[in-house]
A and B are shown apart, each in its own frame.
Chain A
Amino acid sequence: GAGVSQSPSNKVTEKGKDVELRCDPISGHTALYWYRQSLGQGLEFLIYFQGNSAPDKSGLPSDRFSAERTGGSVSTLTIQRTQQEDSAVYLCASSPYTDSPLHFGNGTRLTVT
């Protein structure tokens, strides 16, 4: 079946521009996560959506970062006024319910020049 889909797979943007990263989770999965993977930094938690509950935004590094999840399905991660330190691979994952293993997408590689 279809896995977690992320788009675009690669994004190059100029410093100061806004970017939107999209995640299509597996159909029926209620939990959705965004992580950031920088060289040597492991997976940094950004935000977690679970059903209709308020999202856990505790990992967002600054107010330039925001995310929404429409209709309990597709999610968009928005980075405003991008900085060079935002360059990383942004990974989305979903799971059918809380505490079940995560299914990861292939990520969006963001490069800020």
Chain B
Amino acid sequence: AQSVTQPDIHITVSEGASLELRCNYSYGATPYLFWYVQSPGQGLQLLLKYFSGDTLVQGIKGFEAEFKRSQSSFNLRKPSVHWSDAAEYFCAVGPQGQKVTFGTGTKLQVIP
């Protein structure tokens, strides 16, 4: 069965600093990978997805993620964080035709 690990429960960054949120997955074949964001009081919104092809994917709000098969990772990055990026971020894996499994999330705090 597939699984997702987000090792960082909580991260604090300064506004304008770069950001990297870690995600490791476990699945035997090439997975479908997603990052979702949940802002306070809001529903979950898709940031980006990887299905195949270019391993560096661009998403909304200036986010990108890189699929590294050798490391079983799909880390989320942003070069310059804005205060509005404070939210909880979820990595998810969805093998073909099977259920989508989410990680436990990383809460991002942005300080001025």
A residues touching B (Cβ–Cβ < 8 Å)?
33, 35, 40-43, 45, 48, 50, 56, 58-59, 91, 93, 98-99, 101-102, 104-107
Residue among B32, B46, B51, B90 making CB contact with A42, cutoff 8 Å: B90
**Docked-complex contact B102 and A45, CB < 8 angstroms:** yes
**Docked-complex contact A99 and B99, CB < 8 angstroms:** no
**Docked-complex contact A101 and B102, CB < 8 angstroms:** no
**A60, chain B: closest CB distance, angstroms:** 12
Q: Which residue on chain A has the smallest CB distance to residue B94?
A: A99
**Docked-complex contact B46 and A35, CB < 8 angstroms:** no
Q: How many B residues face the partner with a CB closer than 8 A? A: 24
| Interface membership of B44, Cβ < 8 A | yes
Residue among A40, A42, A56, A98 making CB contact with B102, cutoff 8 Å: A42
CB-CB under 8 A from A35, the residues of chain B are 102
CB-CB under 8 A from B101, the residues of chain A are 45
Residue among A33, A41, A106 making CB contact with B100, cutoff 8 Å: A33
CB-CB under 8 A from A50, the residues of chain B are 97
**Docked-complex contact A56 and B99, CB < 8 angstroms:** yes
